[in-house]
Structure 1
């Protein structure tokens, strides 16, 4: 029952794939919690991430990765599979390609249900979240150059607003940067990844009269 209601909600409330354009306006961003921060990049670079929702019998989960410690930027951070769009690619094509390259997630195993709100990062990317449905747990193999670990986090944890918190760190200039965080066990889900999940929660449950009850209906 819960998997059926969740899949139905996703299909009904996500943006249709054919509504995507490379010049989409970001509905959410790193600047939502930091309105005084300067935007240093005017021309945003298009990117996409795949949010793989896995329909496990005991309850839906979301596949996430921990970035390799050898990467030049954002080492060790929790992320979705994804990256920049290649010339001529759509967001869906890029998200599926990156998931295949990063964790060997076969595109044919993913049923794309739609798109969540485009997200502007502080580093100048316009990220389109692509939500994919997997009927069974996938076999994945992390690319050692990009991914240190592949893991799953329960959907009901990520969609419980009680687990969404605002954290911060202080910059050298004396400024304070705020961000969303969803710590799960020893894994610290934060920044763009948490911001995208926060946006997905708002899209799915934000206009519900009783959002907690609606999220519970979809949860295990």
Structure 2
């Protein structure tokens, strides 16, 4: 029995508990006037979260790796060939009770910002110089969440009953204050984390 248990555990990849949906995004670095920039999308009006800023990305399909999903979604949304996307590595990722979002950093090779022709999911693209992000920190605003229980919740089955000390949740949401675009939430959080990682090493050349 123990050998069988060991075999089953060895054959699977550990995952977060729950019924999360799996997504992957790409943080694309593009050269603009000889300066490295992070590329962002503005979501079109006929998809979810219309008008919001995001990185290229989407749901991971069955049998697909997170990295392959990030590349595929970027190719589709920005109409780029595979050879233009040079993966530099994987960054930190997001886990919540609803989603898992893995993130990858890539260089867009031989791509001009003004030549990008987006598909119908993207309203426009814009770029922010890394130098700007390295010198302008986001502002964080904390929101709180509170558990609400249904009327038939079985308080009698837990120690303390209705007086049980439930923990409330707190989440810090990042906002970058830009003149012409919005940048907040998961996208801002991934941006801030990427910039933090750059600052941990020697200045980029």
Fold shared by both chains (TM-score > 0.5)? yes
Q: CA RMSD in A?
A: 2.9
- Look up the match of 1:135: 109
Q: Is the 2:198–2:204 Cα contact (8 Å) retained in structure 1? A: no
Q: Is the 1:61–1:154 Cα contact (8 Å) retained in structure 2? A: yes
Aligned counterparts, 1:95-134, within 5 A: 95-121=70-96, 124-134=98-108
Q: Is the 1:158–1:182 Cα contact (8 Å) retained in structure 2? A: no
Structure number with greater CO (CA < 8 Å, separation at least 6) is 1
- In structure 1, the gaps of 5 or more residues are 1-20, 26-40, 209-213
Q: Distance in 1 between matches of 2:54 and 2:90?
A: 17
Count of residue correspondences: 171
Change beyond 3 A, Cα 1:167–1:136: farther
Q: Please state if 1:61 is matched with 2:27.
A: no
TM-aligned CA deviation for residue 176 of structure 1 = 8.3
When normalised by structure 2's length, the TM-score is: 0.71
Q: Please state if 1:88 is matched with 2:63.
A: yes
Q: Distance in 1 between matches of 2:191 and 2:15?
A: 19
Q: Distance in 2 between matches of 1:50 and 1:121?
A: 19
Q: 1:46 aligns with which of 16, 19, 22?
A: 22
TM-aligned CA deviation for residue 134 of structure 1 = 2.2
- In structure 2, the gaps of 5 or more residues are 1-11, 149-168
Q: Is the 1:62–1:155 Cα contact (8 Å) retained in structure 2? A: yes
Could you say which structure has the larger radius of gyration? Answer: 2
- Look up the match of 2:54: 79
- Look up the match of 2:129: 154
- Look up the match of 1:218: 204
